[in-house]
Amino acid sequence: MKTKVLYIAGRGRSGSTILANCLNEITSYVNIGEANYAWENIFVGGHACGCGEKISSCALWGPVFRSLYGSVDAVPVDDLIRQRKALPSNIEIAAGLAPTKQDVLKEYGAAIQAIYEEVATVSGAEVIVDMSKTPSHLYLLLSATNLDTRVLHLVRDPRGNANSWSKKKKRTDVAPQEDLYMPTLSPVGSCRRYVACNLTLEQLLRRHDVPNIRLRYEDFCANPARMLESTVRALGLPFPGSPFHGQREITLGTNHTIWGNPGRAKSGVTRIREDAAWRVNMAGIHKVLVTALTLPFLLRYGYNVVPTSHQAALPEAA
């Protein structure tokens, strides 16, 4: 039987970290984080897994890489980075252009598939949650692996997304002396990437017969327990029971996210609520600018052109 992968696709800062952490708490699900960025950050940068351990000591990734490569030090990081560079760009994917280095892509797809299958074996999980989000990693999963991939296209109001990208955030999931910060973007830079990413994902999903659903971050936050269940069920994935206590509260345990936003390290009792600070804090001129630059997406995803209080809705089957 093929290994099931629940791929969270979309722009960074759309709420994928908290969503994936909630999915991680469903029995038989394991959230592996942003697999596409693992090589530089974990093997070259030497950062820790979401569980706080270095990869060689992690209860999941240590056994996975030792089983596949003999030892963690033997993982062919340079080859994996070189192979990943053969992935097509958003423009190439959106235009339907075939990548020039098909053989390299096949090698990378085989390596990724072997890793996900070993994660399933070691963890005993039935569903691997991958929150890489990028269209290019999804392209790889759909074109160069034999995994049973299902896609959750996560979207957020572009004004909330742009406001989040404008903030200078310190990385709290690396050693304090490293003093690392998350990248920032201007409102225009954020809009450009928002449009490119979501347009590419929509084109990619149109071309592949793959189970997929679109979920708005704001709808998830409005009714987290109900939305988590309805989304997973709509994708035809198992739902052995809700990980929430009631509708909004969840106890987050340890996760083995190989990379991701600093929020991945959050654990303990957590109350899900929307980060809606942009509605108050974002400069009016920036709200107008982002609204104008992303208008077709605002309308397509059902957001109000003039932001008002949020109305929850069921996820839309894409």
Interacting residues toward Zn ion by CB under 5 A: 49, 51, 58, 256
In the bound state with Zn ion, the residue whose beta carbon lies nearer, of 31 and 143, is 31
CB of 255 to Zn ion, least distance (A): 7
**Burial class, 28, CB count within 10 angstroms (exposed 0-12 / middle 13-18 / buried 19+):** middle
* In 85-166, alpha helices (H): 90-95, 102-123, 135-144, 158-166
Q: Which amino acid does the sequence have at 149?
A: T
Which residue pairs, CB below 8 angstroms and at least 24 apart, start in 239-244?
A: 239/26, 240/26, 240/27, 240/28, 241/26, 241/27, 243/22, 243/25, 243/26, 243/27, 244/22
Angle at which helices 102-123 and 77-84 cross, to 10°? 120
In the bound state with Zn ion, the residue whose beta carbon lies nearer, of 189 and 263, is 263
On whether the CB atoms of residues 212 and 152 are closer than 8 A, the answer is: yes
In the bound state with Zn ion, the residue whose beta carbon lies nearer, of 49 and 154, is 49
CB of 31 to Zn ion, least distance (A): 11
CB of 55 to Zn ion, least distance (A): 8
CB of 205 to Zn ion, least distance (A): 31
In the bound state with Zn ion, the residue whose beta carbon lies nearer, of 173 and 218, is 173
CB of 34 to Zn ion, least distance (A): 14
In the bound state with Zn ion, the residue whose beta carbon lies nearer, of 49 and 250, is 49
DSSP state of 32: E
* Dihedral pair phi/psi, residue 270, rounded to 5°: -130, 135
